[in-house]
A and B are shown apart, each in its own frame.
Chain A
Amino acid sequence: MLFSMVETSNRRNAVRGALALFSSLLGLILIIPIAALGLPFWIAALGTRFIARLLEPQIVAWQSIVDYDPTLGWKPKANVDVHCCTEEVFHVTTGADGWRGRLGVAESSIVVLGDSFAFGYGVSDVEMFAGLVPNARVKAIGAPGYNLVQELLVLRQLSSELAGKLVVWFVFLGNDLGDNLYPYMQIYRTPFLRRVDHTGNWKIETSHLSPKTRPYRFGKWHEQITREMLADLCSSTYLSERAYSACEFLIREAQQLCQRQRALLCVLTIPDPAQLSPEGRARLQACSSDPGSFDAALPDRWISEICSKLGVVFVAGQDHLRRDDFRQLDRHWTDKGHQRIAELLEELYRCHGKQAQAADDLNSCTRQTTTGG
């Protein structure tokens, strides 16, 4: 009985298999004209990929040019010479200290601190802003994904070499302010700020740092998450209240450090491309938790107030950059954007020079007066 059931089942399977084979052959014959129509597209897609692979150098992801750092979470590797890719392939080199370019901090006149914008992510060394300032030697210190807490920690590490220099701190409004409060950056653990009390005191937390990474599979949601964060930072929300309080703490710390080292601190905010067009602003407003209080210029206004309170030079990047200075999909600068930043740095350096000259004049005048008196 059982044997006959098995036999029937096998026979049915064999019949089904034969019918499936026959029908799929029939189906495939019907498909031939459809596939023939698509042949030019397949040839173009296949050929383009094949030839492009021959034309392009080997590309590495930014994650492979950084290493675990027990203080900062991660840091670019020393003496890297690779090609990375955003919308276009670009050449990246780092010095012995791991930062972009071969110039040392001691030899520089401007130190630029920041995240991937300071790292020059998206352009080759020759197109990067650091090499385009004619009258100053610029050392760019930054790494992809850094928040302001990490940048302050770097500044502390370099404090002994900052004397007399202009320190320009890039603050990317797209994610830096929110990232300061969060212990992870994609797969990495990152230093962040913890509120100590409600009087504006914060503590830098690094105890969770370790080489262990976490799984992160939300790359496709990343844009949406950061857009919502920026929208809330442009509105009167709990997030914005905490973020600007944390930001004030960080700028105050940096300012005190620079003052001790007789360096001049300048905060340069970098707008998110969405803030630079009416459509982008409308999209942001739609994401806000409180659309009624939305104001795309709010982050600049907040940071400007903080800087003026602390006596820090403030420059709103929104006044100098345009939408087409940024790439279309990736949010980094184009080579034109780098050129514009280089011009801005040149201008800042000139003002810094005049200020230093005025301070020297004032000092010598004071000395003369004291000697004379």
Chain B
Amino acid sequence: MPITLPSPRRAQLFAFWLIQSACAAFLAMIVCAALGVRRYLLLGIILGFLMALCGFWRPRAIASLYRVWNRCAERYAVVAKRLLLKICYYVVFTVVGCAGSSLRRSAKSQSLWVPRTTLPTNAYASQYDVALPGISHWSINYLGWAYKSGNIWAWGLLPFLMLIAALDTQESKTYPVSIYTLF
């Protein structure tokens, strides 16, 4: 599930605003309850209702907020992904590399390239290994590959991979216009 919001159609804008109104109402309830305000439930509901109503009245304002929110989500995703990769590299790979894994932090001037042989044609779509028959989700295939190839330690990377996938944004999928592959 991507962290960014879907393309802003009318239904998505209203849905986004409903979520924001609900969250605001919930926060208001908590604050009011903490301040000892009586009827905090009713106050929260009224606030949420009024907020939702304002959005329906001024849908253009939601569109602007939607864009800003999406931009913030994209920025967050970029920073979080970078931090995640760093943690993964310096914490997991360092420790596993000490135990002799080929996937490790490289010493200076040492290449980590591994010579590979040609893969079977049915593995082209998934280059790390042949996908398990009847299983489409990449995570199951990944676990299967780790088990079959004697790299069970790589299961530990799965939560990181899933988080990286969750931090995926549409922006990272765009390619430079001038890209040209010679083949």
Binding site for B on A (CB under 8 A): 9, 12-13, 15-17, 19-24, 26-28, 30-31, 34-35, 37-38, 40-52, 55-56, 85, 87-89, 220, 224
Contact yes or no, A37 B5, CB < 8 A: no
User: A99–B114 Cα gap in the complex (Å)?
Assistant: 59
**CB of B115 within 8 Å of the partner chain:** no
Taking CB as reference atom, which chain A residue is nearest B3?
A41
**CB of B182 within 8 Å of the partner chain:** no
Known: A20-B95, A26-B91, A45-B4. 15 other contacts (CB 8 A): A20-B92, A20-B153, A23-B94, A23-B95, A27-B88, A30-B87, A31-B84, A38-B80, A44-B69, A45-B3, A46-B1, A47-B16, A52-B6, A52-B12, A88-B10
Classify the interface of chain A: helix, strand, loop or mixed.
Answer: helix
**CB of B47 within 8 Å of the partner chain:** no
A224 proximity list for chain B (CB < 8 A): 177
A40 proximity list for chain B (CB < 8 A): 23
Q: Shortest 8 CB-CB distances between A and B: which pairs?
A: A20-B156, A51-B15, A24-B156, A20-B153, A23-B95, A47-B19, A55-B11, A52-B15
Nearest-neighbour CB distance to chain A for B134, whole angstroms, equals 23
B1 proximity list for chain A (CB < 8 A): 42, 45-46, 49
Contact of A51 among B19, B83, B155 (CB under 8 A): B19
Contact yes or no, A17 B152, CB < 8 A: yes
**CB of B38 within 8 Å of the partner chain:** no
User: A24–B95 Cα gap in the complex (Å)?
Assistant: 10
Contact of B99 among A16, A31, A46 (CB under 8 A): A16
Nearest-neighbour CB distance to chain B for A155, whole angstroms, equals 35
User: A26–B87 Cα gap in the complex (Å)?
Assistant: 9
Nearest-neighbour CB distance to chain B for A259, whole angstroms, equals 46
B94 proximity list for chain A (CB < 8 A): 23
Contact yes or no, A16 B101, CB < 8 A: yes
Contact yes or no, B92 A24, CB < 8 A: yes
User: A31–B94 Cα gap in the complex (Å)?
Assistant: 17
User: A27–B84 Cα gap in the complex (Å)?
Assistant: 9
Contact of B73 among A20, A31, A41, A50 (CB under 8 A): A41
User: A318–B20 Cα gap in the complex (Å)?
Assistant: 42
Taking CB as reference atom, which chain B residue is nearest A86?
B9
**CB of B59 within 8 Å of the partner chain:** no
Taking CB as reference atom, which chain B residue is nearest A40?
B23
Please report which residues of chain B, range 1-44, place their CB below 8 angstroms from some CB of chain A when the two chains form the complex: 1-7, 9-12, 14-16, 18-20, 22-23
16 A-B residue contacts at CB 8 Å? A16-B100, A17-B155, A19-B96, A19-B153, A20-B96, A23-B91, A24-B91, A24-B159, A37-B80, A41-B69, A45-B2, A47-B22, A52-B14, A55-B14, A85-B9, A89-B10
A48 proximity list for chain B (CB < 8 A): 5-6, 12, 15-16, 19
A26 proximity list for chain B (CB < 8 A): 91
Contact yes or no, A13 B19, CB < 8 A: no
A52 proximity list for chain B (CB < 8 A): 6, 9, 11-12, 14-15
Interface 1/0s, chain B 59-73, versus A by CB < 8 A? 000000000010011
User: A13–B100 Cα gap in the complex (Å)?
Assistant: 9
A56 proximity list for chain B (CB < 8 A): 9, 11
Contact of A45 among B20, B73, B101 (CB under 8 A): B73
**CB of B154 within 8 Å of the partner chain:** yes
Contact yes or no, A16 B19, CB < 8 A: no
User: A224–B174 Cα gap in the complex (Å)?
Assistant: 13
Nearest-neighbour CB distance to chain A for B66, whole angstroms, equals 9
Taking CB as reference atom, which chain A residue is nearest B22?
A47
A87 proximity list for chain B (CB < 8 A): 7, 9
User: A89–B12 Cα gap in the complex (Å)?
Assistant: 11
Contact yes or no, A13 B150, CB < 8 A: yes
**CB of B166 within 8 Å of the partner chain:** yes
User: A278–B20 Cα gap in the complex (Å)?
Assistant: 39
**CB of B54 within 8 Å of the partner chain:** no
**CB of B76 within 8 Å of the partner chain:** yes
* A31 touching B87 in the complex, CB below 8 Å, given contacts A21-B156, A48-B19: yes
Interface 1/0s, chain B 106-134, versus A by CB < 8 A? 00000000000000000000000000000
B19 proximity list for chain A (CB < 8 A): 43-44, 47-48, 51
**CB of B160 within 8 Å of the partner chain:** yes
Nearest-neighbour CB distance to chain B for A274, whole angstroms, equals 14
Nearest-neighbour CB distance to chain B for A208, whole angstroms, equals 27
Contact yes or no, B153 A45, CB < 8 A: no
Taking CB as reference atom, which chain B residue is nearest A26?
B91
* Of B9, B22, B152, B156, most A-chain CB atoms within 10 Å: B156
User: A43–B16 Cα gap in the complex (Å)?
Assistant: 10
A13 proximity list for chain B (CB < 8 A): 150, 152-153
